[in-house]
Amino acid sequence: MLIFKLLRATSIEKSLRVHGENLATSRDLRKKRAEKLLRNLWGTVVPVPSRKMFTRRRVLVAVGLAVPPALVLSASAWYREKHRPSLPAHTLGDLTGKVVVATGGSSGIGKASVQKLRDLGTTVINGSRKDGSLDLADLNSVKEFTSKIVEGGRCDLVLACAAEIYTDQSQLSVQGHDATFATNHLGLQALLSGLTDELKPKRIVIVGSKLARQGLIDPHLIRSSNGKALNSRPPPFSPVKHYADTKLCNHLLSRSLSLRSPSSKVLTVSPGMVDTDLWRNFSSLYQLVTFPIRYVALRTPEDASLGVVYALAAEEIEDVPSGSFMVDGRVEEWTEKEKDEEIGEQLYGVCEEIINDAKNK
Ligand SMILES: NC(=O)c1ccc[n+]([C@@H]2O[C@H](COP(=O)([O-])OP(=O)(O)OC[C@H]3O[C@@H](n4cnc5c(N)ncnc54)[C@H](OP(=O)(O)O)[C@@H]3O)[C@@H](O)[C@H]2O)c1
């Protein structure tokens, strides 16, 4: 039916041309043709929008398309300004000659922090996969790295900043433990216990996350699954929740270490939400879609490093008790599950067993 109508409309248009209507311009001709076509198609008179109307519509569409993203980006920029770190007045100590052992110093928050620590006169030894010096997901590599530091005989400060969020639940570490857990926690515990036993660093800063409050762990399940499962959260698997579980492990470790190693001041720092490469294992589409918001709304690594460097270098930290949780230079309360000493001790013991099992294989 539609095809028939179109054919009829075209023949009318042809006859219009043949009979040579006196049309002043080609624009008039086009308008006339369009009107005839529309009338023939819909059986009623449909006004063809004038050029002015077309332009107005185009402007409206353009405004309609541009306004929502502009509003979102303005709100994001406002959010970033509102959440910029404002640290209490402080003095960074002279760290000339101090040795900092760092992880995660090759990118993001760690890189910005390491730069500031170098500016304060420290020598930073950064363990990284990039130069082959450290792979936290390989307990043999952690052992080798720790041994080298111990042989060097110096470690005044530790910055633990490495992390990974694997999106594939079945991804395992070199020794067959869950890859995110191995990188973010098992490797960290192996490194820190080695350093605190042998070199007793003055300060240890673990970069944690407020996401840990959503974390869930079951030390018995961690042991029985040999580090492959952290809890019995029902499917579907969420990489972010799983990462939160590993950050909860970090927070509990920080509390346990503060009790076990009284000569080291152990602090956990939450850096806020920061635009870094931490989402590198997520799909390109996810990264593309979230890029504008992340870029505009989140903290820069430089901003985030202020609180980290404060915890490592500020003189005011002398008054802060070991085992504290810090956000932008201020102590914040732990939640009940983060400061649960019993679970913390169980987790420490279970991870120690898993690490020792792997060593003995
Ligand atoms: N970004 C945020 O919004 C946010 C929020 C709260 C907390 N945090 C925490 O901040 C810390 C730094 O993260 P970021 O955002 O700066 O991320 P990032 O830019 O992705 O940096 C992660 C670092 O971890 C290192 N790393 C990853 N896997 C490793 C492995 N197997 N062995 C050794 N090093 C490894 C990487 O070094 P190589 O590739 O050189 O090995 C890299 O330098 C993490 O602890 C994260 O949990 C971040």
| pLDDT at position 43 | 66
Tell me: do 176 and 252 sit in the same domain. yes
The minimum-distance atom of ligand 1 relative to the CA of 208 is 7
Which of 109, 125, 140, 210 to probe ligand 1 with, by most ligand atoms within 8 A of CB? 109
Average pLDDT for the chain: 90
Task: For residue 148, report the distance from its CA to the centre of ligand 1, in Å.
Answer: 22
- Ligand 1 contact via 297 beta carbon (within 6 Å): no
Judgement on whether residues 131 and 212 belong to the same structural domain of the protein: yes
Residues 19 and 98 grouped into a single domain: no
Residue whose C-alpha is closest to residue 162's, from 189, 198, 144, 201: 189
Do 113 and 168 sit in the same domain of this protein?
Answer: yes
Q: How far is the CA of 5 from the centre of ligand 1 (A)?
A: 65
Is residue 10 domain-shared with residue 125, that is, in the same domain? no
Which helix (H) or strand (E) segment holds residue 241: the answer is helix 239-260
Residue 4 confidence class, pLDDT cut points 50, 70, 90: very low
The alpha-carbon radius of gyration of the chain (Å, integer) is: 31
Task: State the CATH number of the domain containing residue 123.
Answer: 3.40.50.720
**Claim to verify: residue 44 and residue 100 sit in the same structural domain:** no
Same domain, 42 and 101: no
Which atom of ligand 1 sits closest to the CA of residue 129?
41
Structural domain that includes position 34: 2-48
pLDDT for residue 25 is more than 70: no
- Residue 239: pLDDT above 90? yes
Q: Could you tell me which residue, 304 or 73, shows the higher pLDDT?
A: 304
Assign 15 a pLDDT band (cuts: 50, 70, 90): very low
> What's the average model confidence in pLDDT over 310-330?
98
Q: Does 279 reside within a domain?
A: yes
Given this model, what pLDDT does residue 360 score?
Answer: 77
Structural domain includes residue 185: yes
Band (pLDDT 50/70/90 cuts) for residue 213 is very high
Which of 274, 277, 279, 282 to mutate to test ligand 1, by most ligand atoms within 8 A of the CB atom?
A: 274
The answer on pLDDT for 205 being more than 50 is yes
Å from CA of 108 to ligand 1 middle: 7
The residue-averaged pLDDT of 207-212 equals 98
| Position 1 pLDDT exceeds 90 | no
User: What is the predicted pLDDT for the residue at 31?
Assistant: 72
279 CA to centre of ligand 1 in angstroms? 10
**pLDDT score for 27:** 67
* Banded model confidence at residue 10, pLDDT cuts 50, 70, 90: very low
Whether 278 lines ligand 1, by a CB cut-off of 6 Å, is: yes
CA angle 132, 135, 136 (to 5 degrees): 160
pLDDT at 307 over 80: yes
Mean pLDDT of 179-188: 98
319 C-alpha to ligand 1 centroid (Å): 29
Of 145, 161, 206, 254, the one to substitute when testing ligand 1's pocket (max ligand atoms within 8 A of C-beta) is 161
Q: What is the pLDDT of residue 42?
A: 63
pLDDT digits (tens, 9 = 90+) for 86-131: 999 999 999 999 999 999 999 999 999 999 999 999 999 999 999 9
Is residue 116 in a domain? Answer: yes
What confidence category does residue 69 fall into, taking pLDDT thresholds of 50, 70 and 90?
confident
DSSP string, 143-199: HHHHHHHHHHT--SEEEE------S-TT-B-TTSSBHHHIIIIIHHHHHHHHHHHHT
Distance 278 CA to ligand 1 centre (A): 6
Q: Are residues 166 and 95 in the same domain?
A: yes
State the distance from the centre of ligand 1 to the C-alpha of 182, rounded, in angstroms: 13
Strand 157-160, strand 324-327: pairing? unpaired
With respect to residue 202, please indicate whether it lies within any of the assigned structural domains: yes
Question: Does residue 55 sit within a domain?
Answer: no
CA of 13 to the centre of ligand 1 (A): 68
- Distance from the CA of 162 to the center of ligand 1, in angstroms? 4
For residue 20, pLDDT over 70 is answered with no
Give the lowest-confidence range in 31-35, 312-316, 355-359: 31-35
Task: Specify whether 274 is located in the same domain as 192.
Answer: yes
196 shares a domain with 331: yes
| pLDDT tens per residue, range 28-63 | 777 777 677 667 766 666 666 677 777 888 899 998
| More confident of the two residues 20 and 194 | 194
Of all residues in the chain, the percent with pLDDT exceeding 70 is 89
Report pLDDT for 76.
81
Helix 284-297 × helix 51-82 angle, to 10°: 70
Q: Is 128 in the pocket of ligand 1 (CB under 6 A)?
A: yes
Residue 69 lies in a domain: no
Give the number of domains in the chain: 2
Residues 205 and 257 in one domain: yes
pLDDT for residue 68? 87
Q: 266: Cβ below 6 Å to ligand 1?
A: no
Least confident span in 64-78, 178-192, 256-270, 283-297: 64-78
Whether ligand 1 lies within 6 angstroms of the CB of 246 is answered as no
> Residue 88 — left, alpha, or beta (φ > 0 → left; ψ -120 to 50 → alpha)?
beta
The answer to whether residue 53 is domain-embedded is no
Q: Which range is least confidently modeled, 34-38, 71-75, 135-139?
A: 34-38
C-alpha 223 to ligand 1 mean position (Å)? 25
pLDDT over threshold 70, residue 13? no
3-state secondary structure of 6: helix
In a domain, 350, yes or no: yes
Residues 208, 252, single domain; the answer is yes
